[in-house]
Every structure is written in C-alpha cells, then in structure tokens.
C-alpha cells in the first residue's frame, strides 16, 4: 500500500525557516517524480515544488529562491526546506506522487500544517 506521511510542520516567526519531511512507503520511491502542494485554510490548492528522479527541481515564482526541494532515495524521503517564511506561506503542506502514466498526482499524504506568525 502506497503511503506518504508528512511531518515537520509547526509555528514559525516571519523570516524564519522550517524543514518539512515526507516519508514514502509501498512503492519504489526513487522511480517517481515527487511534489509539494499547499493549501491555505479555506483556499484552493497551490503547487509549491517538484523534484524529478534525476534530482532536477522546479518551483513557481512565489517560492523560488526561498524554498528548496530535495530527496534522499536511500531513506525513501522527500524534503522541503523553507526559508524567509512569510505570513502568506501559512498553509497545510501535502506531498504528492506524480503518476508515471499520466503526470497527475495519484497519491497524496495527509498534510502537515505550517503557521507563520509572530
């Protein structure tokens, strides 16, 4: 059974840093592109970052230069290093697996909550 379990969320002050983790199981982690998607309370989904199997990374303009996605295949883990955090980064952060066959997200974790506030 495919499982994605996020951790590392919490309360951080504006300008601070936080590192999220996503533990994957039930599939060959190294063979899949992985993503982070966030959702502010009561709002829609927003794509945050992606990492390919070769370690190539992608970001939208809203987080580029502040967030860094990485992976550690030996530990079946995905990470998101978030620096220079802003109030608008407050959200539930999901990790998601990109399907091989359709480039859509076929599995999602339950999310970890990040709150940026003084």
Partner 1 sequence: SYELTQPPSVSVSPGQTASITCSGDKLGTKYACWYQQKPGQSPVLVIRQDNKRPSGIPERFSGSNSGNTATLTISGTQAMDEADYYCQAWDSSTVVFGGGTKLTVL
Residues that bind partner 1 (CB under 8 A): 35, 37, 44-47, 50, 58, 60-61, 94, 99, 101-106, 108-111
Minimum distance from residue 15 beta carbon to partner 1 (Å): 26
Q: Which is nearer to partner 1, 83 or 106 (CB)?
A: 106
Beta strands in the chain (DSSP E): 3-7, 10-12, 18-25, 34-39, 45-51, 57-58, 67-72, 77-82, 91-98, 105-108, 112-116
Minimum distance from residue 16 beta carbon to partner 1 (Å): 26
Minimum distance from residue 61 beta carbon to partner 1 (Å): 7
Q: Which is nearer to partner 1, 28 or 101 (CB)?
A: 101
Q: And the tokens for 32?
A: 């899949």
């Amino acid at each position: 059974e495919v499982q994605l379990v996020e951790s590392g969320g919490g309360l951080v002050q504006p300008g601070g840093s936080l590192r999220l983790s996503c533990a994957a199981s039930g599939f060959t982690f190294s063979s899949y592109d992985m993503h982070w998607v966030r959702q502010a309370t009561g709002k829609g989904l927003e794509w945050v970052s992606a990492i390919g199997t070769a370690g190539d990374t992608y970001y939208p303009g809203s987080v580029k230069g502040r967030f860094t996605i990485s992976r550690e295949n030996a530990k079946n883990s995905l990470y998101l290093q978030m620096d220079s955090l802003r109030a608008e980064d407050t959200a539930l952060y999901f990790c998601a697996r990109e399907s091989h066959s359709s480039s859509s997200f076929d599995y999602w974790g339950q999310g970890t909550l990040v709150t940026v506030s003084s």
